[in-house]
């Protein structure tokens, strides 16, 4: 029984590297979350959710880069869609 107690004491304190917080979400992840909020708001017809998404988009606007917008379009729209074919030429060519 004393061995169990000793093992429990050694495992109690996590190492300092494990205590570091996760990195902040990327701009692309923020765009995906905003799209989810808009989708949920449009399905339930809640103006409050859509206005929240607009506020989050305005806050994110300064950090947007062509790379982020291009990746989001590739995520959100099928490559064969009319919207995708109209929007992608407006973006500068980006290497991933």
DSSP letter string over 28-41? Answer: HHHHHHHHHHHHHH
pLDDT digits (tens, 9 = 90+) for 11-41: 544 444 443 344 456 888 888 888 888 888 7
- Kindly tell me the burial class for residue 80, based on how many C-beta atoms sit within 10 Å of its own C-beta (0-12, 13-18, 19 or more): exposed
Q: pLDDT digits over 53-65, tens only?
A: 888 888 888 888 8
Tell which residue, 86, 15, 31, 41, has the closest CA to residue 64.
Answer: 31
d(CA 93, CA 70): 9
pLDDT in tens, 34-47: 888 888 877 778 88
Contacts of 52 (CB under 8 A, 6+ apart): 37, 41
State pTM to two decimals. 0.59
């Amino acid at each position: 029984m004393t061995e169990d107690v000793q093992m429990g004491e050694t495992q109690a304190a996590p190492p300092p590297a494990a205590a570091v917080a996760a990195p902040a979400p990327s701009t692309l992840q923020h765009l995906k979350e905003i799209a989810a909020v808009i989708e949920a708001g449009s399905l339930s017809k809640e103006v409050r959710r859509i206005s929240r998404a607009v506020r989050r988009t305005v806050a994110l606007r300064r950090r947007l880069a062509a790379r982020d917008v291009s990746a989001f379009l590739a995520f959100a729209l099928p490559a064969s869609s009319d919207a995708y074919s109209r929007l992608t030429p407006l973006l500068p060519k980006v290497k991933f």
